[in-house]
């Protein structure tokens, strides 16, 4: 009886962890401006959690973002005017491409 209970607990833990992993997306961000790619910090707020990455040559990746509505913002390196945050939809899993304008 104890072995069966242990097997059920381990199975639930293993499959429960897999379900959580499937419910998250990897967001590939590209920030563009009139003069080309711009570097800075991209911040996503989704499901009450905040995620960020710093672009290099205008691109960065944020793993583990939950699906649904998210707020996306960009703060350019060296200060300057940042475009207003915008609402974006994140797919529940897989790879998501997000292109933001630096507003310049």
CATH number at residue 31: 2.60.40.1120
Per-residue model confidence (pLDDT) at position 38: 86
Q: What is the value of pTM for the model shown? A: 0.74
pLDDT of residue 79: 79
Residue 13 domain boundaries? 2-101
Tokens, residue 38: 């711009």
Separation between Cα atoms, residue 76 and residue 97, nearest integer Å = 20
CB 83 within 8 A of CB 91: no
CB-CB contact of 37 with 28 (8 Å): no
pLDDT digits (tens, 9 = 90+) for 47-76: 999 999 999 999 999 999 999 999 999 999
Domain count, the chain: 1
């Amino acid at each position: 009886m104890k072995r069966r209970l242990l097997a059920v607990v381990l199975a639930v833990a293993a499959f429960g962890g897999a379900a959580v992993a499937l419910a998250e997306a990897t967001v590939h961000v590209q920030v563009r401006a009139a003069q080309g790619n711009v570097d800075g910090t991209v911040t996503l707020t989704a499901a009450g959690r905040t995620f960020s990455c710093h672009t290099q040559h205008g691109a960065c990746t944020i793993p583990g973002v939950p699906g649904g509505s998210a707020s996306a913002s960009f703060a350019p390196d060296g200060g300057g005017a940042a475009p207003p945050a915008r609402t974006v939809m994140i797919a529940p899993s897989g790879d998501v491409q997000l292109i933001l304008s630096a507003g310049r």
